[in-house]
Homo-oligomer: A and B are copies of this chain.
Amino acid sequence: MNRTRLDDRLADLDTDGYLLDASQEDANQLYLSGFTGPDPFLTLYADGEVHLLVSGLEYGRATSEAAADTVERHADYDYEYGGREERNDMYAAFLRDKGVDSVSMPPRGPVGTADALRERGIDVAVDADDRLQAVRAVKTDEEIDAIREAQEANEAAMRAAEELIAGADVAGESDEAETGVLLRDGEPLTSERVTEEIEVTLLRHGCALDETIVAGGAQAADPHDRGSGPLRANEAIIVDIFPRSKATKYNADMTRTFCVGEPSKTLREWYDLTERALNAALDAVEPGATGEEVHAAACEVYEEAGEPTFRTDPDTETGFIHSTGHGIGLDVHESPRLASGGEELEPGHVITVEPGLYDPDIGGVRIEDLVVVTEDGYENLTDYPIRFAAE
């Protein structure tokens, strides 16, 4: 964690401290506390110090693992497990003990805790800007290495997926399966089968699985569809993998689109267009450029080719119907956004660049690389070929 940046970003808040009440599921909490607590616990940042309040069960691990200046346990405030009002009393006592009469909480902090502290005379303000997000957005070298490592696992998984797809047979008229369905060992190759291969490969590389997208045909036209059922020849198959390292908790993200057989002329055009949109967006990535400008670079390629985007038609349900990318770190989606209104890029931002085109009647195509913004441009953390025909 970059404490200078933290202090800088929190400097204009006029509260005595910054309070988190969350488990490790919350990226702000994981970042500020450095502790993987499975149940919600308190982290207070005040006067340049990080203070943790955890249950007795977590105390041992927290003292050895957390990046905190002080760690206290519930018993230090004579709290016995179970009582709700007593718990809130303990929280207030913990804050006052640190000389804190007012705190900021991020917008997704729990209203129950906020209101309970207010009832006890602690002033609670919402940090609507979620300033920790901006702190987290700029990565240290160590964080970049963690993302790089997750990306290497990701590439191994993509390789496994591509090989499974590339090595498939295509069902003909004499086969039991519907003509055109991809077959492995005589059985239809399904999204679920490819997903399982991806997930097992990630596991073997120390990554936990979250959801994975393996979607072909019309399913690929819905960017959030995870895909299911048999894959087919001549259709575009989107494979989008976003693994998380079990050791570091940092994420990677990459998408490729594959085809077995002969894609339609339109799909082939879409693929080339999307590769051009990717390159145009990448060319725009440098410190000082805004996320909006990078997004614009991708949109322009599509718009010049006559494809709809949210800029030309905010209501469109086909064409380029999402943003160009997002920051990535402890969360898969975090700051900055490569979209309309997207903020200025800074060295150390790790972002995805992922243009795509979608239409249920045609299918979907998306190509996504992972890059880090450097002093004079960007470094591409992705080392995986861009090719439509699966090999």
Contact = CB atoms under 8 A, between A and B. Distances in A.
Contacts of A310: 81
A340 B81 contact: yes
Contacts of A222: 60-61
A203 interface: yes
A208 interface: yes
Interface stretch (A109-117, A149-157, A179-187, A298-306): A109-117
A344 interface: no
Interface stretch (A100-108, A132-140, A373-381): A100-108
A128 B84 contact: yes
Interface size class of A (residues with CB under 8 A): 35 or more
Interface string A196-224: 10011001100011010000000000111
A82 B126 contact: no
A315 interface: yes
Nearest to A114: B111
Interface string A291-334: 00000000000000000001000110100011100000000010
Given A38-B224, A114-B111, A315-B75, A339 B82 contact: yes
A89 interface: no
A223 to B, nearest CB: 6
Interface in A40-87: 40, 56-58, 60-61, 75, 80-84
A223 B57 contact: yes
A165 to B, nearest CB: 19
A38 B200 contact: no
**Among all A-B residue pairs, the 10 with the closest Cβ atoms:** A107-B112, A82-B341, A111-B114, A111-B111, A108-B110, A112-B126, A109-B111, A115-B126, A199-B203, A111-B126
